[in-house]
Chains A and B, each alone.
Chain A
Amino acid sequence: MITQTNSTYEIIDACLLAGKIMLENGAETTRVEDTMMRMAASFGIPQSHSFVTPTAIIFSLEGTDPTKLIRISERSTDLQKVDEVNSISRMASAREITLPETMKRLKQLEEAKGTYPMFIQVLAAAATSGCFLIMFQGQWQDFIPALISGGMGYLCAVLFQGLVQIKFFAEFLAAFVIGSLSVGFVAIGLGLDLDKIIIGSVMPLVPGVLITNAVRDLIAGHLVSGITKGTEALLTAFAIGSGIAVVFTLY
């Protein structure tokens, strides 16, 4: 009887940890709920209920077992981790790994660092900016300015995020840096088309995962999550827009 209760607690813990990792790293609400319920089912609890919002998960098993709540305070985007939780839950469903093994793997995954080191991401942001400039019919002469201001903008967004912990402010400052650098490049004659350079450079800041998730959540009927994520995306867009707007007002 005692081992029975213990294992019920362990099952809840494993499910909640899986849900937490997924939600913190940018999975859709449906996927989080689905994974948690599948994991519970594979460990012998066919009936479970979960309520997932972007800031908290409530998970409950049928019967008299306690309901647990877990708070999600920090959200970032690491789809590699979402993918890995997905494969761990697949393995658990196929009964390839046991509950302690699942828990061990999830804990390792929780502490794992990001897939790509910081400098690779900054380089990727720079490449994204340059390529978007060409896609939006910019000239090749503006390629290098877009490369630099896009990379710097992304770097600033990450650094400010670590410094002030307020996402919208970090994005606002990053957009301001991008705007100022672009104006500078055009002023010293390195850049030609200011508009195109700025549009290309702010692309790495666009909240792509949020937009996609908001739409997918809304379709699946998770109205609370969908609207919340949509609002977050809108606020980000507003932060970027006002950062650029401030540059124009000064310039």
Chain B
Amino acid sequence: MWEQLITSFIASATFAILFNAPKRTLFICGLVGMVGWIIYFELVSRHFDYVPATLIAAIAISVLCQIFAKLYKTPIIIYSVAGIIPLVPGGLAYDATRKFVENDYSLAVQLAAKALMISGSIAIGLIFSEVLMRITFRRSISSSKSN
């Protein structure tokens, strides 16, 4: 558990460096990534399916991102990119590629479909929290974007 907390924090913060996030945001980038990953990790280890686990984590991440973006007046994508990166189904996409190469198409398509479902649930999570914030704060999307 500690191992997961620390590595997910470092991974998200260093990933933020790769796309030149401002230095003052790095700590929060790490924090958002860590919270999202721990939610996902705990749900999966409690035998949740990958797709709902990803969805819940993605919603939590982007609600956090909206709050931090408003608080520190920075563009929201800085936080949300760092936050969702641990959830990207890299492992599944990799397995799918490997099965394709090994001519095991039926398994490959299964894995690819699963990776697609997870990517979709990340997207839905991002959308859902945006709607949630809009209902809560009654502000239009364009005025929240200027933050």
Q: List the interface of chain A (C-beta within 8 A of B).
A: 25-28, 30-31, 34-35, 38, 77-83, 86-87, 90, 114-116, 120-121, 124-125, 127-128, 130-132, 134-136, 154, 195, 198-199, 202-204, 206, 208-209, 211-213, 215-216, 218-220, 237, 241-242, 244-245, 248-249
Contact = CB atoms under 8 A, between A and B. Distances in A.
Contact of A124 (B14, B119, B141, B142): B14
A128 to B, nearest CB: 5
Contacts of A195: 91, 94-95, 98
B33 to A, nearest CB: 10
Interface of B: 3-4, 7-8, 10-11, 14-15, 17-23, 25, 37, 41, 73-75, 77-78, 80-82, 84-86, 88, 90-91, 93-95, 97-98, 100-102, 119, 122-123, 126-127, 130, 141-142, 145-146
Contacts of A136: 90-91
Contact of B11 (A132, A211, A244): A132
Contacts of A25: 20
6 A-B pairs with least C-beta separation:
A131-B11, A124-B17, A124-B14, A131-B7, A78-B20, A77-B19
Contacts, number: 166
Nearest to A81: B20
Contact of B90 (A38, A206, A220): A206
Contacts of B73: 87, 90
A78 to B, nearest CB: 4
A185 B146 CA distance: 48
Contacts of A218: 123
A26 B130 CA distance: 20
B8 A131 contact: yes
A81 B20 CA distance: 9
